[in-house]
Amino acid sequence: MFGVMKVVNLAHGDLAVVAGYIGVGVIAVTHMPVLWSIPVVVAAMAIVGYILQRSVIQSALSRGELTTLIVTFGLSIIIENGLQQFFTANSRGLGVGDTFITDSFLIGSQIIIPYLNLAIFIIAVVVLLGLQQYLSFSRYGRLIRAVADDREAAQLSGADYRHVFGIAAAIAFGTVAIAGMFQGMITTISPTLGTDTILLFAFASVVIGGLGSLWGTLLGGVILGVAQAVGAQFNPSYETLAGYGVFLLVLVVRPQGLISQGATS
């Protein structure tokens, strides 16, 4: 969303949590398997994204880029309090069932990799590949890049940039829905998790990787994750500290991010 519309979405983490809760709701009602519920949640969040973009975020955008910061911050507060109201402050998990969630394999004798985490990483790569293909070759992908380049010139070519923004937001919300579902599978989700954890780590990943770069963000996420795991090896309380240490180091050494000027997202 930043790459296309210059919107810094402070509610991004909360939206992941909302997606997780929608997943909880969908599974409770339909009793479908967790993995099958993902496409349903993604579609629901994409629709929410389009509507939210065309209504609240667009009208904030037309009042200046800074306004979107305040509006998405407001959205974040509304979402967190709304979730606490309806789902209580208790953590919820999305049970994957069977032993998939608990099984793991070893690399060497030290590194333990759970199958679930591996599956999530593979899906993340597949999603990124899909996004890249979509942005590169589809009609709307092309329009999204064109609008990001020059909104007015795109209008002169007949493109309604508000609709294109809506599509971009739908993609962003759909992607964050996947993240939220996996968050619920790996650990648990709770109403304030979005800002407390997800948003900050997501921003750190994006900045480490390079703003607007799809693969940079993945790389940033991996580096952040590895740094945290290594830090935790020394002392469990170093986990978060190690992550932010790397974050600061990147800001000092390579403030533009590891991969700058990549594909826009």
Partner 1 sequence: MSGRADSGAPLLEVRDLVVHHGQLRALSGISLTVYPGEVYALIGANGAGKSTLLRTIAGLHHPTSGSIAYDGKDVTGLRPEKRATAGIVMVPEGRRLFPSLSLEENLKVGATYARKGPWNIAAVYELFPWMKDRRGQRTAQMSGGEQQSVAIGRALVANPRMLLLDELSLGLAPVIVQRIYAMLPQILASGITVLLVEQDVSQALRVATHLQCLLEGHTTLEGTPAEVNREQVEAAYFGVSDGSHALWPGLTPLSRACSPEAFTRCSRAACP
User: Where do contacts with partner 1 occur on this chain (CB under 8 A)?
Assistant: 139, 142-143, 145-146, 148-150, 152-161, 264
- Structure tokens that stand for 105 in this block: 């394999």
The CA-atom distances, in angstroms, between 185 and each of 93, 95, 96, 218 are 6, 6, 6, 19
The CA-atom distances, in angstroms, between 174 and each of 20, 46, 105, 121 are 12, 5, 30, 17
Least Å distance between CB 14 and partner 1?
A: 31
**220-238 b/e with 16+ CB inside 10 Å = b?**
bbebbeebbeebbeeeeeb
- φ/ψ of 218, rounded to 5, equals -60, -45
Least Å distance between CB 138 and partner 1?
A: 11
Q: Give the nearer residue to partner 1 in terms of CB position, either 1 or 38.
A: 1
Q: In angstroms, rounded to a whole number, what is the distance separating the alpha carbons of residues 229 and 247?
A: 14
Q: Give the nearer residue to partner 1 in terms of CB position, either 18 or 154.
A: 154
Q: Give the nearer residue to partner 1 in terms of CB position, either 140 or 238.
A: 140
Least Å distance between CB 26 and partner 1?
A: 35
- φ/ψ of 200, rounded to 5, equals -65, -45
DSSP 238: G
Q: Give the nearer residue to partner 1 in terms of CB position, either 191 or 262.
A: 262
Q: Give the nearer residue to partner 1 in terms of CB position, either 37 or 217.
A: 217
Least Å distance between CB 182 and partner 1?
A: 31
Q: Give the nearer residue to partner 1 in terms of CB position, either 48 or 159.
A: 159
Least Å distance between CB 54 and partner 1?
A: 14
Least Å distance between CB 137 and partner 1?
A: 10
Least Å distance between CB 140 and partner 1?
A: 9
Q: Give the nearer residue to partner 1 in terms of CB position, either 21 or 161.
A: 161
How far is C-alpha 114 from the geometric centre of its chain's CA atoms? 21
Those residues whose C-beta lies under 8 Å from the C-beta of residue 7, and which sit 6 or more positions away, are 1, 57, 61, 65, 68, 72
The CA-atom distances, in angstroms, between 49 and each of 16, 121, 244 are 12, 24, 30
